[in-house]
Protein backbone atom coordinates (compact mmCIF):
# COMPACT_ATOMS: atom_id res chain seq x y z
CA UNK A 1 0.00 0.00 0.00
CA UNK A 2 1.44 3.37 -1.05
CA UNK A 3 0.26 6.18 1.21
CA UNK A 4 0.89 9.87 0.60
CA UNK A 5 0.20 13.00 2.62
CA UNK A 6 0.20 16.34 0.81
CA UNK A 7 -0.70 19.83 2.01
CA UNK A 8 -1.87 21.39 -1.27
CA UNK A 9 -2.08 25.03 -0.06
CA UNK A 10 -5.58 25.19 -1.59
CA UNK A 11 -4.05 24.45 -5.00
CA UNK A 12 -2.11 27.71 -4.97
CA UNK A 13 -2.71 29.60 -8.17
CA UNK A 14 -6.12 28.10 -8.80
CA UNK A 15 -5.01 25.80 -11.65
CA UNK A 16 -7.35 22.85 -11.25
CA UNK A 17 -5.78 20.89 -14.09
CA UNK A 18 -2.31 21.23 -12.53
CA UNK A 19 -3.68 20.09 -9.17
CA UNK A 20 -5.24 17.02 -10.76
CA UNK A 21 -2.03 16.14 -12.61
CA UNK A 22 0.09 16.61 -9.50
CA UNK A 23 -2.09 14.32 -7.39
CA UNK A 24 -2.41 11.68 -10.12
CA UNK A 25 1.35 11.65 -10.45
CA UNK A 26 1.73 10.64 -6.80
CA UNK A 27 0.38 7.17 -7.66
CA UNK A 28 -1.10 6.74 -4.20
CA UNK A 29 -3.38 4.01 -2.89
CA UNK A 30 -4.23 6.28 0.06
CA UNK A 31 -3.93 10.04 -0.36
CA UNK A 32 -4.45 12.54 2.48
CA UNK A 33 -4.81 16.16 1.39
CA UNK A 34 -4.78 19.23 3.62
CA UNK A 35 -5.86 22.84 2.94
CA UNK A 36 -8.47 21.73 0.42
CA UNK A 37 -10.92 24.24 -1.07
CA UNK A 38 -14.43 23.48 -2.28
CA UNK A 39 -16.13 26.36 -4.16
CA UNK A 40 -13.89 29.00 -2.58
CA UNK A 41 -13.37 32.31 -4.47
CA UNK A 42 -9.56 32.29 -4.09
CA UNK A 43 -9.37 28.96 -5.96
CA UNK A 44 -11.86 30.03 -8.64
CA UNK A 45 -14.82 28.22 -7.05
CA UNK A 46 -13.38 24.82 -8.01
CA UNK A 47 -14.37 21.69 -6.11
CA UNK A 48 -10.81 20.49 -5.53
CA UNK A 49 -11.92 17.16 -4.06
CA UNK A 50 -13.87 16.33 -7.21
CA UNK A 51 -10.96 17.45 -9.41
CA UNK A 52 -8.51 15.15 -7.66
CA UNK A 53 -10.97 12.25 -7.51
CA UNK A 54 -11.51 12.45 -11.28
CA UNK A 55 -7.81 12.78 -12.03
CA UNK A 56 -6.83 9.84 -9.83
CA UNK A 57 -9.89 7.61 -10.21
CA UNK A 58 -10.07 7.32 -6.42
CA UNK A 59 -12.90 7.28 -3.90
CA UNK A 60 -13.06 10.47 -1.84
CA UNK A 61 -14.45 12.04 1.29
CA UNK A 62 -14.22 15.70 2.26
CA UNK A 63 -13.89 16.72 5.90
CA UNK A 64 -14.90 20.36 6.21
CA UNK A 65 -13.34 22.36 9.02
CA UNK A 66 -14.64 25.85 8.22
CA UNK A 67 -16.35 28.18 5.74
CA UNK A 68 -14.33 30.54 3.55
CA UNK A 69 -15.58 33.61 1.70
CA UNK A 70 -19.16 33.03 2.77
CA UNK A 71 -19.87 30.42 0.09
CA UNK A 72 -16.85 28.14 0.11
CA UNK A 73 -15.77 25.24 2.28
CA UNK A 74 -12.28 24.36 3.47
CA UNK A 75 -10.73 21.34 5.15
CA UNK A 76 -9.14 17.94 4.59
CA UNK A 77 -9.76 15.22 2.04
CA UNK A 78 -9.07 11.50 2.08
CA UNK A 79 -8.89 9.62 -1.22
CA UNK A 80 -8.45 5.86 -1.54
CA UNK A 81 -8.05 3.38 -4.36
CA UNK A 82 -10.24 0.83 -2.57
CA UNK A 83 -13.70 1.71 -1.22
CA UNK A 84 -13.88 3.20 2.26
CA UNK A 85 -16.03 1.95 5.14
CA UNK A 86 -16.82 3.25 8.64
CA UNK A 87 -16.06 6.84 7.62
CA UNK A 88 -16.07 9.37 10.46
CA UNK A 89 -15.39 13.10 10.29
CA UNK A 90 -14.38 14.56 13.65
CA UNK A 91 -13.56 17.94 15.16
CA UNK A 92 -10.41 18.26 17.22
CA UNK A 93 -9.86 20.34 20.39
CA UNK A 94 -9.76 24.07 19.86
CA UNK A 95 -8.35 26.87 22.02
CA UNK A 96 -10.13 30.21 21.80
CA UNK A 97 -10.85 31.48 18.29
CA UNK A 98 -8.01 29.71 16.50
CA UNK A 99 -8.65 27.97 13.20
CA UNK A 100 -10.97 24.99 13.51
CA UNK A 101 -9.14 21.67 12.96
CA UNK A 102 -10.50 18.22 12.18
CA UNK A 103 -9.76 14.76 10.89
CA UNK A 104 -11.31 12.01 8.82
CA UNK A 105 -11.10 8.34 9.80
CA UNK A 106 -12.01 5.36 7.65
CA UNK A 107 -11.39 1.68 7.11
CA UNK A 108 -9.62 0.84 3.83
CA UNK A 109 -8.97 -2.80 2.94
CA UNK A 110 -9.08 -3.62 6.64
CA UNK A 111 -6.67 -0.81 7.61
CA UNK A 112 -7.74 2.06 9.85
CA UNK A 113 -6.66 5.33 8.26
CA UNK A 114 -6.75 8.75 9.94
CA UNK A 115 -5.92 11.93 8.01
CA UNK A 116 -5.57 15.36 9.60
CA UNK A 117 -4.10 18.87 9.63
CA UNK A 118 -3.19 20.12 13.09
CA UNK A 119 -2.82 23.61 14.54
CA UNK A 120 0.28 25.75 14.15
CA UNK A 121 0.06 26.48 17.90
CA UNK A 122 2.11 23.87 19.73
CA UNK A 123 -0.01 23.48 22.84
CA UNK A 124 -3.13 23.14 20.74
CA UNK A 125 -1.63 20.69 18.25
CA UNK A 126 -0.38 18.52 21.11
CA UNK A 127 -3.93 18.22 22.48
CA UNK A 128 -5.29 17.59 19.00
CA UNK A 129 -2.82 14.80 18.27
CA UNK A 130 -3.54 13.15 21.61
CA UNK A 131 -7.29 13.27 20.94
CA UNK A 132 -6.88 11.83 17.44
CA UNK A 133 -4.66 8.98 18.63
CA UNK A 134 -7.31 8.08 21.21
CA UNK A 135 -9.90 7.85 18.42
CA UNK A 136 -7.61 5.73 16.28
CA UNK A 137 -6.97 3.35 19.18
CA UNK A 138 -10.71 2.67 19.39
CA UNK A 139 -10.59 1.13 15.91
CA UNK A 140 -9.16 -2.18 14.72
CA UNK A 141 -5.49 -2.47 13.77
CA UNK A 142 -3.54 -1.97 11.56
CA UNK A 143 -3.46 1.81 11.93
CA UNK A 144 -2.14 4.54 9.65
CA UNK A 145 -2.15 8.17 10.80
CA UNK A 146 -0.96 10.79 8.34
CA UNK A 147 -1.11 14.49 7.63
CA UNK A 148 0.42 17.89 8.23
CA UNK A 149 0.88 17.69 11.99
CA UNK A 150 2.73 21.02 12.31
CA UNK A 151 5.09 19.27 14.74
CA UNK A 152 8.71 18.19 14.36
CA UNK A 153 9.71 14.52 14.74
CA UNK A 154 10.89 15.11 18.33
CA UNK A 155 7.47 16.58 19.23
CA UNK A 156 5.42 13.46 18.55
CA UNK A 157 5.23 11.90 22.02
CA UNK A 158 1.52 11.19 21.50
CA UNK A 159 2.53 8.71 18.80
CA UNK A 160 4.39 6.47 21.27
CA UNK A 161 4.01 2.89 20.06
CA UNK A 162 3.67 3.96 16.42
CA UNK A 163 6.43 3.50 13.86
CA UNK A 164 7.24 6.80 12.19
CA UNK A 165 7.94 6.80 8.46
CA UNK A 166 10.89 9.09 8.94
CA UNK A 167 13.58 10.43 6.67
CA UNK A 168 16.25 13.04 7.07
CA UNK A 169 14.63 15.12 4.34
CA UNK A 170 12.34 18.03 5.33
CA UNK A 171 9.03 18.75 3.62
CA UNK A 172 8.47 22.50 4.15
CA UNK A 173 8.76 25.02 2.57
CA UNK A 174 8.70 23.40 -0.86
CA UNK A 175 11.24 25.69 -2.52
CA UNK A 176 13.96 25.17 0.08
CA UNK A 177 12.73 22.65 2.67
CA UNK A 178 13.94 23.14 6.24
CA UNK A 179 11.25 21.57 8.43
CA UNK A 180 9.69 18.12 8.66
CA UNK A 181 6.09 18.74 9.77
CA UNK A 182 4.31 16.26 7.47
CA UNK A 183 4.24 12.74 8.88
CA UNK A 184 3.10 9.15 8.37
CA UNK A 185 2.89 6.85 11.41
CA UNK A 186 1.78 3.21 11.54
CA UNK A 187 1.00 0.32 13.84
CA UNK A 188 0.66 -3.25 12.57
CA UNK A 189 2.29 -2.59 9.20
CA UNK A 190 5.91 -2.56 8.08
CA UNK A 191 7.36 0.54 6.46
CA UNK A 192 9.16 -0.73 3.37
CA UNK A 193 10.23 2.69 2.07
CA UNK A 194 9.67 6.41 2.65
CA UNK A 195 10.49 9.41 0.50
CA UNK A 196 9.91 13.12 0.21
CA UNK A 197 8.67 13.67 -3.33
CA UNK A 198 9.71 16.51 -5.65
CA UNK A 199 8.16 19.94 -5.35
CA UNK A 200 4.78 20.33 -7.04
CA UNK A 201 3.67 23.64 -8.61
CA UNK A 202 0.44 23.76 -6.59
CA UNK A 203 1.75 23.92 -3.03
CA UNK A 204 4.25 25.22 -0.49
CA UNK A 205 4.77 21.69 0.92
CA UNK A 206 6.42 18.67 -0.65
CA UNK A 207 4.43 15.41 -0.59
CA UNK A 208 5.56 12.64 1.74
CA UNK A 209 5.08 9.03 0.58
CA UNK A 210 5.56 5.64 2.23
CA UNK A 211 5.14 2.09 1.00
CA UNK A 212 3.59 -0.13 3.67
CA UNK A 213 3.33 -3.92 3.74
CA UNK A 214 1.72 -6.45 6.05
CA UNK A 215 3.89 -7.70 8.87
Global pTM value: 0.96
Terminal CA-CA length for the chain: 12
Count other Cβ atoms within 10 Å, centred on residue 116: 27
Judge whether 189 and 145 are in contact, CB under 8 Å.
no
Angle between helices 48-56 and 16-24 (to 10 degrees): 40
Can you list the pairs that 119-123 forms with residues at least 24 positions away whose Cβ atoms lie under 8 Å? 119/95, 119/150, 120/150, 121/95, 122/151, 122/155, 123/95
- Give the tens place of pLDDT for each residue, 15-43: 899 999 999 999 999 999 999 999 998 88
- Give the tens place of pLDDT for each residue, 170-188: 999 999 999 999 999 999 9
Q: How far is it, in rounded angstroms, from Cα 18 to Cα 52? A: 10
Q: How far is it, in rounded angstroms, from Cα 65 to Cα 78? A: 14
Amino acid sequence: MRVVTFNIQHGAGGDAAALGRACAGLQADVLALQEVDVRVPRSRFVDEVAVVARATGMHSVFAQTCRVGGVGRYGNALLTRAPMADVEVVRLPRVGRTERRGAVLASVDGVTVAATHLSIHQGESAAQLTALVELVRERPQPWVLLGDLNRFPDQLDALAGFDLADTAEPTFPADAPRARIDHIAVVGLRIESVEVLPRQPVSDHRPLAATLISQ
